[in-house]
Amino acid sequence: MPSQAPITQLISEAEPLLSVEFFPPKTEEAVADLQQAALEINALEPDFVSVTYGAGGTTRSRSAKVSQVMKDEVGLNVMPHLTCVGATREELGEIVDEFYSDGYRNIMTLRGDPPKGQESFVATEGGFSYASDLVSFIKDRHPDFCLGVAGYPEKHPEAADLEKDLDNLKIKVDAGASFITTQLFFDNAAFYTFVEKARGRGIDIPIFPGLMPVVSFKQIQRILQMCGSQLPKALEDKLVPVQDDIQAVQQIGADWAKEQLADLLSNKVPGIHLYALNKADVALDLMKAFRTAAP
C-alpha cells in the first residue's frame, strides 16, 4: 500500500511540494478516464493529490471511489476533501473514521458552499456552521490527522472584508489546521499581501498557493463568479479577443500560469497546488514547468 504520509512530514523532508486537485467525474465510466490521467500525472511524481467533495455530499460515494482508486491502484498520496454540508456530526464522524481506517492521514477540511437552490449556508441540525468546528471535531477524534484548510487571498465571497476573513482564518488555524491551501488567483500580489497579513496575525503554518490555468473563457468566468477571485485586466485583455479560439485561450492560460508559478517559486512558497480540472495535459504541462523552475 502506498504511503499516506502527513503533509507536514512531506514539508519537513522536501520543499517546495507539488500537488494536483481532482474532482469526481459525473459518471462511473469517467472514473476510468480519470485513472488514466492520474497514471500519467503520477509519472511526474506529485507529492500528493487531493479529491474534492461534492456540494451537499452528492458525490460522497464517487469522491470515496476516486480517492480509493488514486490511492490503491495508482499509488498516490491522497488527501480527500470533506465538507460540513448536509451532514450531522455523527455522519461526519463515520466518514472521518472510515478515512482513518482506510489509511488516509490528510484531509482538506471545509465548510462547503450552500447546496444548489439555497442562497446562504445553513448548518444542518446537529452539524457544523464553520470549517473551524470540523477541524476541532476531527482533531479530537484522530489527533494525528493532518488537516488542510482553505484560504482566500481575495477574501471569501461572504466575508465583509479581508481583515475579518483573516480573523476567521486564525480561528481555523488555532482549531488545529496544519496548512492552508488558497483559492485560485491570477495576481500574485494578492497572494503575497494575504501571506503577509496572515503572518502579522500569528498564522505561521505553511500556505500553498492554488493555481488554475485558464482553459476556457466561459468556464473561467463561471468559476470566478462563484469563488470571487478577479481576472486581472492584463489577462482579460489577452483573452477577450481570442475567447472563441480554445487553443489560443489555453496557450494564454498556460503562459500566464507558468509566469505565476516561476514568480511564486522564486519567492520561496512551500509548494504549489494545481487546479488542473482533471485534464492530464494541462497538469503535465505545469508540472514540467514546476520541475524546471523548482530549486
List interacting residues with ligand FAD (CB under 6 A).
Answer: 52-53, 55, 81, 83, 108, 110-113, 130-132, 150, 156, 158-159, 165, 168, 171-172, 181, 183, 210
CA 295 to CA 292: how far, in whole Å? 8
Distance of CA 96 to the CA centre of its chain: 18
Asked if 130 and 156 count as a contact pair (C-beta separation under 8 A), the reply is no
Select from 49, 196, 35, 165 the least CA-distant residue to 108.
49
Burial 6-21 (b: 16+ CB within 10 A, else e): bbbebbeeeebbbbbb
CA 187 to CA 196: how far, in whole Å? 15
Distance of CA 197 to the CA centre of its chain: 21
Give 159 or 224: the residue with its C-beta nearer to ligand FAD: 159
Closest distance to ligand FAD from the beta carbon of 243 (Å): 26
Asked if 68 and 60 count as a contact pair (C-beta separation under 8 A), the reply is no
Look-up of cell digits 488567483: 185
DSSP summary character for residue 114: P
Residue 158 in grid coordinates: 461572504
Q: Is 28 a catalytic residue?
A: no
Closest distance to ligand FAD from the beta carbon of 26 (Å): 15
Closest distance to ligand FAD from the beta carbon of 182 (Å): 6
Closest distance to ligand FAD from the beta carbon of 47 (Å): 16
Residue 92 in grid coordinates: 461526519
Residue 148, H or E segment: strand 146-151
Closest distance to ligand FAD from the beta carbon of 158 (Å): 4
Give 55 or 294: the residue with its C-beta nearer to ligand FAD: 55
Closest distance to ligand FAD from the beta carbon of 200 (Å): 17
Give 41 or 110: the residue with its C-beta nearer to ligand FAD: 110
Of 13, 21, 94, 196, which one is the catalytic site residue?
A: 21
Give 178 or 183: the residue with its C-beta nearer to ligand FAD: 183
DSSP 18-74: EEEEE---SSHHHHHHHHHHHHHHHTT--SEEEE---GGGTTHHHHHHHHHIIIIII
Annotated catalytic residues are 21
